[in-house]
Amino acid sequence: MHDTVQQYYGETLTSSLDLQTNACKIDAGLPEYVKPILAQVHNEVLTRYYGCGLVLPELLEDLTVLDLGCGAGRDVYVISKLVGEHGRVIGVDMTEEQLMVARRHEEYHRKAFGHAAGNVLFLHGYIERLWELELTDGSVDVIVSNCVLNLAPDKAAVLREAWRVLKPGGELYFSDVYTDRRVPHALTGDPVLYGECLSGALYWNDFQQLSREHGFADPRLVDDHKITIGNAELAARTGNIRFYSATYRLFKLDNLEPACEDYGQSVVYRGTIPHHPHLFVLDKHHRIETGKHFPVCGNTWRMLHDTRFASHFEFYGNFERHYGIFAGCGMGLPYNDTANDTANDRTGGCC
């Protein structure tokens, strides 16, 4: 499918107006601090943007960030401003036509952002084979990707390579398209459906399992939106399959557990992350208010304590005493409390 995608994004599409659905042009509500940065991005780069979410995680200053499937470079250039002169952004894409657009505006953005020297690098290659681009083990702080994983034929290889190049405590923060069921094989060969980021999309539960198999033990959903297919012909081909744009954050932490385990821990957010003085949103289920004790499971504690977020939190508790599954995580005790509790008999159920 590499050739199909290269032709679709290199020749068939000349701007986002050529897309036949909205799957690859969903942009979550932009934070206020991003809007003036985006206003400085060259118009040609903006018109060649094909994305399904916002991939700008917090605390990027001075970091090395890798953008998988960077296209014409919109996200690379926004992030180049956020990492600053001492940071670096590497964009990888397999479509040379897209990279040509990105590269010819490097000097424009350097001047627009007031950098003494350029801090971006665009590489032509495949996101499944980052070793070919000499991206070494543990060399990247954060990886972002915007509506590209669904276009990769070997999604397992993408996750495997992401784990390899991330530093310990690093993060893969990305948006993509997911489905409520597995896409029939007959649709995956359709060049339009595939190019529109639909028929290559992963079934959400397969994505969860694939992430865990390649080291990312606890994928965290940050944001999601239902995708509507405005093209009647394409909608008819996909039938009852439902599509969603979703943003996930996956941390490279060796000691994460497969479930939310309760150790009686809590955190207090100091309110010191730039642009987030009152609230820090780790994911869809962890909205942590400034100054307030927030009970967390062991995995969440580690995602904050063993990463770039550590200095912005106070941590309470340890791992010495275990209290079972964390309440409210959807994985409660499966057994009856009494030997003859027929009213709560759970035999025949899956959970």
| Helix residue ranges per DSSP H, 39-190 | 43-47, 74-83, 96-103, 106-112, 155-165, 185-188
What the block records as the tokens of 119 is 């801090």
Q: What is the mean pLDDT of the chain?
A: 88
Residue percentage of the chain with pLDDT more than 90: 75
DSSP symbol at 182: P
- Overall average pLDDT of the 330-348 stretch: 49
Stronger pLDDT, 332 or 271, i.e. the higher one: 271
Per residue in 44-80, pLDDT tens? Answer: 999 988 877 789 999 999 999 999 999 999 999 999 9
CA-based nearest residue to 224, from 208, 210, 244? 244
pLDDT-derived band at 23, boundaries 50, 70, 90: low
φ and ψ of 265, to 5 deg: -95, 160
**Of 27-41, 136-150, 173-187, 255-269, which gets the smallest average pLDDT?**
27-41
Q: Is the pLDDT of residue 337 over 60?
A: no
Q: Is the pLDDT of residue 348 over 80?
A: no
Per residue in 188-247, pLDDT tens? Answer: 888 889 888 899 999 999 999 999 999 999 999 999 988 888 888 888 999 999 999 999
pLDDT-derived band at 2, boundaries 50, 70, 90: low
